[in-house]
Structure 1
Amino acid sequence: MAQHFEEKATIELLEINQLPVFNKPENYTVLPEVQELVDKIEAADGVVIATPEYDHSPTAALNNALAWLSYGVYPFVDKPVMVVGASYGTLGSSRAQLQLLQILEAPELQARTMPSSEFLLGNSLQAFDQDGNLVYEDKAEQLDGIFEDFLIFIEIIQQLPHSKEAMVKAAKNFNWENI
């Protein structure tokens, strides 16, 4: 996507493999590797999260990253997010995306996920050429349309600034143990 859409947007790939396993430390201070992700997410106009599907769910590494990114920091609150995914099988990460959308809309994250925009890439092992280009023309056209919609979605969300402060406050004060 970064290469395909380079004329329309700057897409930076963020790796999450450097994060330690989340353990909800009592005296929480933001880890440097988490703060780096927080800063980049906060600076971005929007975020695209790509998830593979393992056992019909997002990866443990992605769930771990989202746990760190919702514990004492709130970079996803009110942030436009587009979810895409791929899988080796024919379903193209449909179940993983559904779970991921639920996680992103949780009280601690409160991302603005783009509705009705699933991009499901099945048979991903055969889907790309040696240069990383998507070889399925119909899927490339679908992705183009969804990405154009995402750029408009970002503009729409930017016009809705009035609730962000309240949403951040709600995320900071949310505690599953006090429900």
Structure 2
Amino acid sequence: ASADGVIIATPEYDHTIPAPLASALEWIAYTSRALINKPTMIVGCSLGALGTSRAQAHLRQILDAPELKARVMPGSEFFLGHSEQVLDDDFNLNDFEKVAELEEHFSEFQDFVTITNQIVKQADTDRKKAFAWEVGE
């Protein structure tokens, strides 16, 4: 809840996010609501050629739900396909072009966090954190 921003890394299972990630997001949506207005970045890797393009698209939809309302970084997607070919035995990324791309995305995310945290008002976050049935209480 106190993080300035959140990075979610997801694999892709059957063209969507894995069930444990969905469950964690559902838990957040109906308990702490810690992702409301939180700058969020999505990355992912998979064994397939397309990386996690479908899972990331689905995750963007989920994060935009009224109960989550994360501020997902627009215009930036990091897909790592054929992960078994670009990760070494210690799971380090050994494709220097992909490392540079990922570092660029992280740098852009730091700027996105700074800008988002400057323009988002705490009152808006507090208002969105209240469920409709709690507003009258």
Same fold (TM over 0.5): yes
Q: Does 1:70 align with 2:63?
A: no
Q: Distance in 2 between matches of 1:174 and 1:63?
A: 23
Runs of 4+ in 1 over 3 A off after TM superposition: none
Q: Is residue 90–residue 123 contact of structure 1 (8 Å, CA) maintained in 2?
A: yes
Matched residue SS, 1:43: coil
What is the count of residue pairs matched by the alignment? 133
Note the C-alpha offset of 1:171: 4.1
Out of 76, 84, 97, the position equivalent to 1:125 is: 84
2:55 is matched with which residue? 96
SS in 2 for 1:69: helix
For 1:165, the aligned partner's letter is A
1:73 CA drift (Å):
1.9
Question: What is the TM-score with the length of structure 1 in the denominator?
Answer: 0.70
The offset of 1:131, in angstroms, is 3.3
Structure 2 unmatched ranges of 5 or more: none
Structure 1 gaps of 5+ residues are 1-41
Secondary structure in structure 2 of the residue aligned to 1:48: strand
1:172 aligns with 2:111: no
- Residues 42-87 of structure 1: CA distance to partner in whole angstroms, max 9, x if unpaired? 1211111000000010001100000000103210011110100111
Cα distance between partner residues in 2 of 1:74 and 1:165: 15
- Alignment deviations for residues 75-101 of structure 1 (CA, whole Å, 9 cap, x no partner): 001111010011110010000000001
Could you say what the CA RMSD is over the residues aligned between the two structures, in angstroms?
Answer: 1.5
Query: Are residues 1:80 and 2:39 paired?
Result: yes
Q: Any idea what SS the aligned residue of 1:134 has?
A: coil
Residues 4-43 of structure 1: CA deviation (Å, up to 9, x unaligned): xxxxxxxxxxxxxxxxxxxxxxxxxxxxxxxxxxxxxx12
Q: How does 1:25-64 map to 2 (within 5 A)?
A: 42-64=1-23
User: TM-score scaled by structure 2?
Assistant: 0.90
Query: What is the match of residue 105 of structure 1?
Result: 64
